[in-house]
Amino acid sequence: MSKIKHTGALPFRFGDSGLEILLITARRTGRWIVPKGYWTPRLKSYQSAEKEAYEEAGIEGLIGQDAIGIYEQKSLRSSTITPIMVFPLQVTYWHGIWPEKHERRHGGSRRILPRRWWRKGLRLLIRRFTRGM
């Protein structure tokens, strides 16, 4: 596997119906993804993931310092596969305004997406993360 250059956050919370996972849309394709981006060199990996969650989804919370796994995202335009180191982020606050608010959307008006909308790679990562919760 190539060297990891991207980090991401898996935002979750416990709502009335149990565990809820938040996904956002990719800018160009509209595909459902986790907030992610290039690993900011001056930050630790989990801090970079936390920064991306705020910039792309307007969320803050308790970030885990241990990665829950690697999510591989395939480009639709080429055969490039980007490995993303993913960290759990328990959402504690949602901002009304954030840097990329007008470029992305959540799974509806700030609601958490149902499991049937998760992409296969995310499903596997999430399934491992949620075991026993």
**SS3 of residue 30 by DSSP:** coil
Classify residue 94: in a domain, yes or no.
yes
Mean pLDDT of 68-89: 85
Q: What is the pTM of this model?
A: 0.83
Which CATH number characterizes residue 15's domain?
A: 3.90.79.10
- Look-up of token digits 């026993």: 132
DSSP per-residue codes, 94-132:
E-SS-TTTTT--BSSSSPPPPGGGS-HHHHHHHHHHHTT
Classify residue 37: in a domain, yes or no.
yes
Single-letter code of the amino acid located at 119: R
Classify residue 125: in a domain, yes or no.
yes
**SS3 of residue 63 by DSSP:** strand
What pLDDT is stored for residue 108 in this prediction? 36
Classify residue 22: in a domain, yes or no.
yes
Classify residue 1: in a domain, yes or no.
no
Report how far Cα 80 is from the mean position of its chain's Cα atoms: 19
Q: What is the pLDDT of residues 92-123, one digit of tens each?
A: 998 887 787 777 666 533 345 555 555 677 77
Higher model confidence: residue 28 or residue 128? 128
Q: Which residues form the domain of 26?
A: 6-130
Number of folded domains in the chain?
1
Other C-beta atoms within 10 Å of 86: how many? 25
What pLDDT is stored for residue 111 in this prediction? 44
Classify residue 74: in a domain, yes or no.
yes
What pLDDT is stored for residue 124 in this prediction? 80
Please, are residues 125 and 10 in contact by the beta-carbon 8 Å criterion? Answer: yes
